[in-house]
C-alpha cells in the first residue's frame, strides 16, 4: 500500500516558529511512513463570503490539496488560550461554500508547542471543538502537548519528548490506516 497523504497545516508562521520546528521533528520521526504535504496557510486571503464562490487561485489550490489528502495533521501554537486565527481561516476556507465542506471523514491529528507550562493544551482543546463540528475524525489519545525548552541541546528534542513523539507517530499511523481501511 502507498503511504497515506497527510496534509499538514502549521499555525506558526513566524520565521523562527517553534511549531514549525516541531513539525520538522515530526517529519524526521515519521520518515517515509506518510507523504507529508504542508500547505502554507499564511498565503490564503481572509475568508469572506464575497469571494467564496469565485476565490483566488491559492484557495482553489488549497481545496484541491484537501481533496487529495487522506488525513490532516495540525500543528498549533497557542494564542490567548486558543489557536491562531490563521488556522481558523484555513479551516473556514475548507468548509465553504455552504454544503461543500471538504473536511468530513478525514482522520486528523493535533500536536503543538509553546514555551508555556501547558504546552498548547488551551489551543488544542478549542481546536478539537471546531474539528468535531467540521466532522474530521480527530485522534483523541495520545495528546501531544510540548513545553518548548529555552535551548535544545544539539538541536534535538529531549529524550523523553522524542520517545513520546515516536509513540504519537505510531498511533497516528494506526489511526489513519484504520480510517482508510474503513472507507
Catalog residues that contact ligand FMN under the rule CB under 6 A.
Answer: 12, 14, 17-19, 77-81, 114-116, 122
Cα–Cα–Cα angle for 176, 143, 17, nearest 5°?
95
Distance CA 84, CA 77 (A): 7
Q: Which residue is nearest to ligand FMN (CB)?
A: 12
Say how many C-beta atoms besides its own lie within 10 A of residue 173's C-beta: 18
What's the closest the beta carbon of residue 100 comes to ligand FMN, in angstroms?
30
Burial of 100 (0-12, 13-18, 19+ CB in 10 A): exposed
Query: Which CB, 44 or 59, lies closer to ligand FMN?
Result: 44
Q: How far is the CB of 12 from ligand FMN (least distance, A)?
A: 2
CB of 114 to ligand FMN, least distance (A): 3
22 vs 66, which CB is nearer to ligand FMN?
22
Amino acid at each position: 500500500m502507498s503511504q497515506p497523504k497527510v496534509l499538514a497545516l502549521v499555525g506558526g508562521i513566524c520565521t523562527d516558529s517553534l511549531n514549525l520546528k516541531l513539525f520538522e521533528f515530526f517529519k524526521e520521526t515519521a520518515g517515509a511512513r506518510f507523504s507529508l504535504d504542508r500547505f502554507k496557510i499564511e498565503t490564503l486571503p481572509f475568508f469572506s463570503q464575497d469571494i467564496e464562490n469565485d476565490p483566488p487561485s491559492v484557495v482553489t489550490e488549497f481545496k484541491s490539496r484537501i481533496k487529495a489528502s487522506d488525513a490532516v495533521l495540525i500543528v498549533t501554537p497557542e494564542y490567548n488560550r486558543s489557536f491562531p486565527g490563521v488556522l481558523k481561516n484555513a479551516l473556514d476556507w475548507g468548509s465553504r461554500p455552504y454544503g461543500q465542506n471538504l473536511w468530513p471523514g478525514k482522520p486528523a491529528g493535533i500536536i503543538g508547542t509553546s514555551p508555556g507550562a501547558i504546552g498548547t493544551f488551551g489551543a488544542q482543546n478549542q481546536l478539537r471543538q471546531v474539528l468535531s463540528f467540521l466532522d474530521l475524525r480527530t485522534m483523541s489519545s495520545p495528546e501531544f502537548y510540548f513545553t518548548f525548552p529555552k535551548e535544545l541541546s544539539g538541536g534535538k528534542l529531549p529524550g523523553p519528548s522524542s520517545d513520546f513523539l515516536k509513540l504519537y507517530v505510531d498511533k497516528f499511523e494506526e489511526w489513519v490506516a484504520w480510517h482508510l481501511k474503513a472507507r
